[in-house]
Every structure is written in structure tokens, then in C-alpha cells.
Structure 1
């Protein structure tokens, strides 16, 4: 009967408009909910089966609620570094528990990025959902995203990030050495007059002058008769016995068995006292292995006092502060200085005086650095290496003391290319600056997230360390997701499967730190809909009362 169908149609209108009112109520209630997506009730007709010429029978209406999940809300600035919004497509991947995750645990997706730290240091939002991402390798610090495997994601935890330190790897020196620095007595030694007989039987009165080469147990030797230079060469001595091992005349690379004084005649090493190191050692000539500036630093009654020193502070692998000193001694030549790099005595295990390396530094005639000799052992770039503390090590290279328990360290020391560099001008010796990298131990002071999703720990020593990267999930049909408590969503057949991406790549939105996505609810729209829904509900109830009156009239015919 058409009156009955009209009444039922009115009922369906009440039900449909009740659904619309519920959607509007949800919208208004969540007007300030972070990342909330407004819902809307759409109506569709219901048609009863009937023939073309029969009496019309009302079908009614039904309401279908639709949530606009893909619609992005406005971003609002906040003061928290952990507040995040996604600028573009995508969702944060979250879980309901932070630890012990398996492939069967439910993953939820949300755009509510009001994250904060829980008591264990995990990042979770106001709904108690834990943020997922790719963690940094604990050894290398590298972050390797794996978008193909959801189980590679882990809850991001900053509570496990302790203090950090970075060892020094680079040093830049800006200093000047006085070009007219008086030459120390230890920079050369000249023997008394020696009366010797040459290989032809002739007698000569010679003096022998020794000067360091910058290499241990090796000296430049010059033979004088009066003031005339007769011969010169380089003598090397056995470090244990002090006996001459080789003598190489200047201008050649071939050692000789005697000193050539010209005209095919020679004089023996023994007659000049060159055959042993006795005289040169007694003369107190500088030697980096037996009479060094490092020896003087250990005991001021021994060794050679340097003419100038440059202090280089460095940080070790534990953030401890060490000091490497560049000691310099003016050589007898106008543009040469003997140099030693040494650690503080006691900081090295296999070298009591702390000597790391030694050599001879030379300058050009215009005061610029010409060569660092063998100070760095021929390494390019110029650097020194100190091996790790190791009680079982037997090598002769410099090694940190076992009591320090620190890692090996290679330090590039730039004497030429740093601002100013090392120079030799006729002004006082002075250090303008020593610039180093590396830091002392620092404590965690802040956590920051950048637009690429990298979660970084900030320490009070200026070090920044990446600890994770936030993952973003995208869907082919985000409006097909199923809403769950906590302003989150779950995967459905309509939404399609997720695609994990790094922020800002592959169509995923980038992160906006210190912002939150506002609700997409517009109150003016909702209040307008509230009015129209109320009117429609009243109208549907009027259908029922009208149909009731008509049925009452029908029943009264019999009276």
C-alpha cells in the first residue's frame, strides 16, 4: 500500500539524516584534533520493484558516510622539535607497542604527528602509537632504508643515545718562525784541529764540522782545512754500537770507504774520528733518537731545548683532551729548522719521551714553506698515525698508552695550505692560530627531525649524529583506508597495499618539523549542514505523521 511505503520512506529519511547528524557531530567534536579528516554523509535513493502503470510505492533513502582521508589540512607551527606534519601524500607508520615487533603485529597509519618521548625514550603520539623508521647502524652510523620490507622498520628510540665524542683528524697551523733566530749550539759541532796524513803521505791540519740531518744517527759532515771546505758528505752510525755504517759523499749516492780530499788522495775515517759517533755525541749535537727535543721535555737536564714550540690540542676517540707539540730548532742553514712532533710524555707506550716523528723543515727565500722533509714519513696529505692502545702490540710505531684504552688515530697536519700556514719571516716567532676538528665528550641536549625524515641527536659539544630516518607509507587509494581509534587507519582491499618510502621521494611528502596538521573540519560548513540536516529530519518525521493521519482517516470510514 502506498501509504505504508510513504511511512517507511519517512523512517528511512529519519535514519539517513541521523547518520548525517552523527557525521557532522564527529566533525564538530574533532575540530581541534590533530590530523583529523572530516566525514560526510552522502544520500542515495532506494527504489521498490513495481510495474510502470501500477500505483507508485515509495522506496526511501539511505546514507553512505565517506571520510576525506586524502584531503590535507593546514599546517600549524609549534614549539616542539618532535611535532611533525607531512607536506604532501603519505602517512606515518606506527605500532601499538615499541618492542618485540613481529610480522603479525598490526601496523597503523596516521597523520597525527604530535610525537613525544615516553619513559623509555621511544617516540609516540598522543594516541599512544609508536613512530616507526629505519635505524642507524650502531657501528658505522649509516642508515639504509629498505622500502620492500615492513619488518625492517623499528620503533625510533632516542633514550639509548648516550654521550658522544669525535676524535681529531685534521689540524691547520698558522704560525711564523723568526728567520734571524740565533742558531743553537746543539745545531752544529766543530772538532778541534786534527793533524792527519793522507793516502799519499802528506800531512794536513783538518777540522770536522757536524750538523744534524733531522734523521736519527745521521749527520752532515764537512771537512775544513783552515777556512777552506775540502770535502763533505753524510755519515750514518749504528744506533747500538755507534760505529760508522756508511759515508756518502755529497753529490753522489754511492758510499765510499774513505774521505776524498781531491787529486785521488783520501784520508781515513779513523784519523778524523768520523769512524765512531763518540765525538759528535760528546759535542751535544741534536739527534732525534739520542739527543732530542722530546728528551728535553721529559727531563730538562737532557736533550736539546727547542727554539720554539707550537701546541696542538687534539681529542682522542673517547673525547679525552691530548696535546701534540711541534718542537722546532733553528738549523745552521739560513732556511732550515729541525722539527719534532711529540705527545705528552707518558701518553705513548713505546716511547717514554712521547716522540711521534721528526724531520727537517725548509723554507724558500721568500719565507714560504718549501718542504716538511721526512717529518710525516712521506705521507700525502701530511699526517701522523698513532696506533690504538694494545697491551699485546710489539710494533715500534707510536702507540697510545695501554692505560688510556683509546683507539688509533690518524691526524692530518696542514702546515702549508691552512690560512697563513707556517712561514719564516723576520719577525718574532708567534702562533697566530691552531684550528682542529674533533670534540670533547658531549651530552645529549636535543632531538631534531629534518624534512628528509632524519632524526638527529644534538650534543652539547656541537656534534650532530643521525640515529634514524622516519618512514612514510603511501597508498593508491588512501580514501579506502579503514579508520580506527587514535585518529589512525588500517589497510583494506579498497585502499590497496602500502608503499614504504623515504620522505620527499617517490611521491611521498616531505616532513615539516615543528608543525602539526590541523583538522580539515570547517565549522561554517558543518553548522550549515547541521541546519539542513535538522530540517530534513523534521520533514521526514512530518511524512510519518501525515501518513499516520491518512491511515486514521481510512480506518474511520467504517464508523
Structure 2
């Protein structure tokens, strides 16, 4: 029976090497397939049960060995919606069954792939080159919170991004201790102040006994006693843009400190204030005449202490007055605009120019816009850039990790499905990160595959040689009876 066993063993060897050659062939064929994971071959000996001193080496069986956990090279594609996973994990995808556009029906099953060459189709779905649709969670563009808990096929359309009315203006500036107004005269204390004297309508804050309005007939006098504070474009609820011009006027100087020798520094007569006081004005109609309002006072006394730090308002927020500019309601009781300073964003320090140094004037409103481009961040967010300059997170890609990546079942198109051996998916990037504009290539090494091919070919030939030898031995046996 030894010769016949040798034949059987040689046949099993040829079958095993054929199986290995088939895997090598598939690896080489997919050496340029994005996200492909090569299949290696492992061999196992089959030893028949026999007495200890009669054991033989036995036949051989071939099995596949997955390399799902081995990452391929990452290649830049310059396509913003492409993404590669640097580390563990798989994109969660689904397959289309029927329908088109918004009526597209999907299999509603979670499949997994490393193939990240996703791009938009005509209906706004992100689909890769193998026809698998990307899944994730939508993000509320207003609150920034995730919508839902289960991954769903992502559809991002180029619908208009709604306008947002301005509610806050972030203001960062240094206001000069001595404003360089047109009326300011060196050596004349108080000449730089905004004084109600000579005004038809007292422009000071209502908290200081004024009307809080600068009318057209007082415009020239007002401009000569105040300094510009910068301008900013704000938006109403419909996205209409309006320029808002700010202007500051100092109304009270703090009394100077009295030295040990009173004769050395004569105190300013008539001033007992301990803080410097300013008023903020907003331009309503710079071309106003007569009794038509030109500027409106914010009606808040803004004071600075001896160190130049803002003291009031204590929270650093200044509510702009209710007003209409160019026919557009800018600030109202229902939709007020807050000028925020952050407490220390506005200071009063010496400045030889006598002008306000506005370091930052930013507001939170914007006009309506459309989606210009999308990209994928390192954390897996789909980021939308809109024509109105807004950059908003639109969705969060779902990335699944497994305790046993190599136990996933392979499907066509570089996809995998969960098995009992692989364990349940763990949703989340973990320590991995996404690299946008890149695609992971096949992890096949051509040189290594050709080396394995040579070894496989030689092993196959050796097994055929065993069969030839066994045939010759059997022929010799049959020749005995002649």
C-alpha cells in the first residue's frame, strides 16, 4: 500500500500547491485594486492514525490566511471625498437594491470595507468604485449634535444653507486715554471730551441725562468731539448685509491722584470722578439733516479704572440700540445685537495717535449660501464649505473595528461581513485617524508574490515527480508476472 499512499499524498500536494497558486494569482491580479487585502496560503499536514513506530508524514491540506489587519500604502488622490483609514477599522457601507434618487432603496445591512475612493453620485450619495454606499450619522448644522445613533446611508445635497441674523459682535480694541478728536487742544484739559454744550439734542446716554440721539443738525459738532471705532457688516434674518459704523466719545475724565505736595500737581477743578467714562454710538444715517437721527447712543456708560481695565458694564457686554439702517431693522427688542468684549477685550491705555486700535471686530451672522465643496477631517467628519464662507460639519463617518479582523468573511468589491469568529463591530475610530484626499492601496507585494510563485511551482513539480516515480515502481511490479 506504500506506493498507492505515495500517489494519494502526491495528489494532495498538487491540490494544495494549486490552491496556493490560485491565491497568488488573485493577489497579483488585485495588486492595483484599492483597499484589497491579499490572501496568503497556510498548509496543514494530515497524519493517519497508526502505531508510534509506524507513523508517516502524511498528506497535506491548504487553507487561506487573511491579511485584513495589514495596511496598504496610502496614495494621495486630490479628491476631497476620498478617505483612507490610518490604523485599524473599516468604513461601514451598504448596497443599493432598487430605485433612484431620493427613492433609492438599500439592503439595510452593515458591510465593511477599506476601499475609501468615495465620491458623490448624481443623487448626493457617497459611493466607492465598487458600488458600496458610505454610511454614517448626520450632524445638525445648527447645534452641531449627531442625529440618531445607528449608521445610515449618507446623502448630502447642495441645498441652500440658510442665512443667520447677527446676534453678537465680538469687539477687541484699545481706546486711547486721551482721544485725538478734532476739538482736542494740547494743554487744555477737557477739550477732548464730548460735551452736551451747544447741541440741540443732548447726545449723551440717557443714564447721564441725555436723549441718546445725535440729530442731523448736530452731526458736525458730534464728529469733531468723537473718534471712529471701526465698522462691521451685519446681517438680518433674510441674510441682507448692512454696514454698522461705531463711534466713541469720552464724556468724563477721572480726577488725577493728589500728590503728597498738593502744590506739585494741582487737582482738576470741578472733577471728582474716579473713573473715565465713554459713550458708544452707532451710525444710523450719516447723511441725516435737521432733526433726523444720525447716530444712536448705546445708552450704556462704559467706564475704565485707573489701570485701563473695563469696569462697567461688569460682564463686558454692550447692547446695541434698537435701530433701522438703510431701511433694514438691525437691532430690536426681539432680536438684539450684543457687542461682547470678553471683559478684557476692550482696554483704555495711552496711545500717542489718540485713535482707537481695533484689533478684532467679528460678528456671527451670515447670508445664505450653497455648498461649494466637501472634505473629510481626521476625526471622520464630512466638512462642508459654503459660498457664504461658513465651514460646517455635515456628517460623521461610521468606522467599525473588530477584535478579530482576519475572521471577517470576504465579499466582492473589497467588502467584508461580520462573522461569529470576528465578533461584533466596535463603532468608533479609537486610535486610528482618517486622511482625506487619500486612498489605501492593495497590500499585495508583487516581488513577494513572484517569490512565492517560484516556490509553489517547484513544489508542484516535485509532487508530479513523485507520481512519475510511483508509476515506474508499479510498472516494475506488474513486470514480475511476465
Distance 2:434 2:118 in 1: 13
From the superposition, tell whether residues 171 and 9 of structure 1 become closer, same or farther in structure 2 (CA, over 3 Å): same
Structure 1 match to 2:264: none
Map 1:207-246 onto structure 2 (within 5 A): 214-215=205-206, 219=209
Give the SS at the match of 2:427: strand
Give TM-score, length-normalised by structure 2. 0.73
Structure 2 match to 1:187: 197
Q: Which protein shows a greater Rg?
A: 1
From 461, 468, 473, give the equivalent of 2:400: 473
Map 1:444-459 onto structure 2 (within 5 A): 444-459=371-386
Structure 1 match to 2:432: 509
From the superposition, tell whether residues 184 and 45 of structure 1 become closer, same or farther in structure 2 (CA, over 3 Å): closer
Map 1:347-366 onto structure 2 (within 5 A): 355=296, 357-359=298-300
- Kindly indicate whether residue 462 of structure 2 is the aligned counterpart of residue 527 of structure 1: no
Deviation of residue 115 (structure 1)? 2.1
From 316, 323, 331, give the equivalent of 1:381: 316
Structure 2 match to 1:137: 140
- Kindly indicate whether residue 146 of structure 2 is the aligned counterpart of residue 114 of structure 1: no
Deviation of residue 362 (structure 1)? 6.3
Deviation of residue 163 (structure 1)? 4.1
Distance 1:359 1:58 in 2: 97
Distance 1:329 1:58 in 2: 101
List per-residue Cα deviations over 1:80-133 (Å, max 9, x = no partner): 333322222221111123978999722111122222222223322221222222
- Kindly indicate whether residue 73 of structure 2 is the aligned counterpart of residue 71 of structure 1: no
- Kindly indicate whether residue 391 of structure 2 is the aligned counterpart of residue 464 of structure 1: yes
Distance 2:339 2:353 in 1: 26
Distance 1:45 1:363 in 2: 89
Give TM-score, length-normalised by structure 1. 0.64
- Kindly indicate whether residue 362 of structure 2 is the aligned counterpart of residue 437 of structure 1: yes
From the superposition, tell whether residues 369 and 111 of structure 1 become closer, same or farther in structure 2 (CA, over 3 Å): closer
Give the SS at the match of 2:123: coil
Distance 1:482 1:521 in 2: 19
Distance 2:45 2:277 in 1: 101
Contact kept in structure 1, 2:285 and 2:293, CA below 8 Å: no
From the superposition, tell whether residues 495 and 533 of structure 1 become closer, same or farther in structure 2 (CA, over 3 Å): same
- Kindly indicate whether residue 410 of structure 2 is the aligned counterpart of residue 483 of structure 1: yes
Structure 1 match to 2:28: 28
Structure 1 match to 2:154: 156
Runs (5+) with no aligned partner, structure 2: 186-190, 254-270, 287-291
List per-residue Cα deviations over 1:446-474 (Å, max 9, x = no partner): 32322222222234554321122222211
Runs (5+) with no aligned partner, structure 1: 147-151, 191-209, 220-285, 346-350, 373-377, 387-396
Contact kept in structure 1, 2:173 and 2:359, CA below 8 Å: yes
Distance 1:172 1:74 in 2: 47
Distance 1:332 1:189 in 2: 17
List per-residue Cα deviations over 1:416-450 (Å, max 9, x = no partner): 8447x56797x887454473223643553332322
From 218, 234, 248, give the equivalent of 1:315: 234
From the superposition, tell whether residues 213 and 118 of structure 1 become closer, same or farther in structure 2 (CA, over 3 Å): closer
List per-residue Cα deviations over 1:346-374 (Å, max 9, x = no partner): xxxxx9878473355667899x68776xx
Paired residues, what number?
434
From the superposition, tell whether residues 527 and 435 of structure 1 become closer, same or farther in structure 2 (CA, over 3 Å): same
Contact kept in structure 2, 1:5 and 1:57, CA below 8 Å: no
List per-residue Cα deviations over 1:33-69 (Å, max 9, x = no partner): 2222221222222334556788x99953221111121
Distance 1:38 1:26 in 2: 8
Contact kept in structure 2, 1:312 and 1:323, CA below 8 Å: yes
Distance 1:144 1:474 in 2: 22
